[in-house]
Structure 1
C-alpha cells in the first residue's frame, strides 16, 4: 500500500511538471504569429472569411496564394497587434506585373482610425514599398517613389515599428527610417489582399506573413 501511495504521488508530481513545461513552450511559441497563407485555403477556419476565389500557386518556398486584384482577399476576425508597444511584420510576396497603381496588401486595425498597412505602388513594370501607421491621430507613411523594384519577382519586406521610429526593409536592405511616436493599436480586424473596406485590391501572390512582438534586425528576419 505504501508503494502504491508513493507511485500515485510520483505520477501526480510528474504530471504537474510536464504541464508546466508544455505550457511554457506554448506561451513561448505564441509570442510570434506566423501565417503560411495557403493554409487558409487548406483548412476551413471559423475566424477567416474568404472573398472571391484566391488560388494556391507554387513558389520557391512552398505553396502560396494568388490574389486576382479584383475581389480575392482574406478577412480575419482578429487584430494581432493589440497591446504591442513595438513589432516587426514581415512578408514574402510576389507582386504581379499588371496590378493597379495603389495596392493594399495587409491591413490591421480599424478602417479609418488606428491601423497598420503594408502597401505597394506599381508603375511602369516596377513597384515601391509603403509602410503606413496611424496611431492616436499620428499618421505616417514611409514611401519613396525612387526606391523601385521589378514586378513579377519574389521579395521579402519588413516593417519595423517601435515606440519612437518606423523602418522599412526590402530583401533585408534598409530603405527608409523616420522618427515616429507610436502607441499600441488596440482594436480592429485584419485583411490580406485588400484594405479592410475592400478598396485598393492587391494582385499577386503571398507566401507567408510573420509578426514578432519586438524590433528585429535583418539577421533575424525569416528566410522562408
Structure 2
C-alpha cells in the first residue's frame, strides 16, 4: 500500500443532516460509522449494517444482502468537475457485481463507484451518465486482492473520466460531462436496491474539483 497525503475537508456532520456545505466550491466528507446515528433526518438505513473497528477508526460492515444507507441528497449538485474518493475493504465472498456508492438518479444522470469480484480478487468500475453520454471505466485485467484496505478515486472533469486505486492511475478516457443536479445517494447498493456490496467502508469524500494524487485522502496502514 502506498501513503497518500492527508488533506483537511470542510464537510461536517450535525444532528440535522449528514452533510453540511453541499454544493459548488465545498467538500463533503462522510465518515460512514456516523450514518448509524439515528438523529440524522435525511438517512434511511436498510438491513443491519454494523459498526466495526478499522485501522482508521470506526467503520461499517455491509453484509452484501440488504445492508445499505439511503440519503436524500446529491453532493455532486452544481459541480462541473469533481473527485469522489473512498477508503474501503471489499470482502472475499461477495457477489460478482457490487455497487458501492451511487449518487444522482436511478437511471438518469448519475455516478457510481462499483467493483467486480472474481476468484479472491476485484477490479474497479467508475461509471458516469450525463445526458446522452455514458461511460464505465473498467478493465478486468487490473485486479487487486480482496480482503484488504484500499483507497479508490474517480476524477470527473468537463471532458474526461479517470480512475485511481491506491494513488495509481488505472484508466482515463474522454467524456463530455454536465453537472448532476437531481436524485439521491446510496452507500452499499445501487439506488434501486440491486447489486449489494459486501465489505467495510470507512470514509467517502467528494471534492468539487479535479484533485491531484498528492491531494487525495490520507491512506496509511
**Poorly superposed stretches of 4+, deviation over 3 Å:** none
Q: How many residues align?
A: 199
Question: Is the aligned partner of 1:82 residue 2:82?
Answer: no
Question: Is the aligned partner of 1:137 residue 2:166?
Answer: no
Give the Cα–Cα distance (whole angstroms) in 2 for the partners of residues 157 and 59 of structure 1. Answer: 17
The alpha-carbon deviation at position 27 of structure 1 amounts to 6.5
Q: 1:197 is matched with which residue: 192, 195, 212?
A: 192
Give the Cα–Cα distance (whole angstroms) in 1 for the partners of residues 217 and 115 of structure 2. Answer: 20
The alpha-carbon deviation at position 44 of structure 1 amounts to 2.3
Question: Is the aligned partner of 1:105 residue 2:105?
Answer: no
For structure 1, the 5+ residue unaligned runs are: 1-25
TM-score by structure 2 length?
Answer: 0.87
Q: Deviations over 1:49-81 (max 9, x none)?
A: 000000001111001000000000000001111
* Contact 2:84–2:206 (8 Å) recurs in 1: yes
The alpha-carbon deviation at position 97 of structure 1 amounts to 0.1
Question: Is the aligned partner of 1:219 residue 2:214?
Answer: yes
TM-score by structure 1 length?
Answer: 0.86
Specify the structure having the higher radius of gyration (Cα): 1
SS of the equivalent of 1:85 reads: coil
Q: 1:152 is matched with which residue: 147, 154, 158?
A: 147
The alpha-carbon deviation at position 186 of structure 1 amounts to 1.0
More helix by share: 1
- Relative to structure 1, the CA distance from residue 49 to residue 166 in structure 2 (aligned partners, 3 Å threshold; closer, same or farther) is same
Q: Deviations over 1:92-136 (max 9, x none)?
A: 000000000000000000001100000000000000000000001
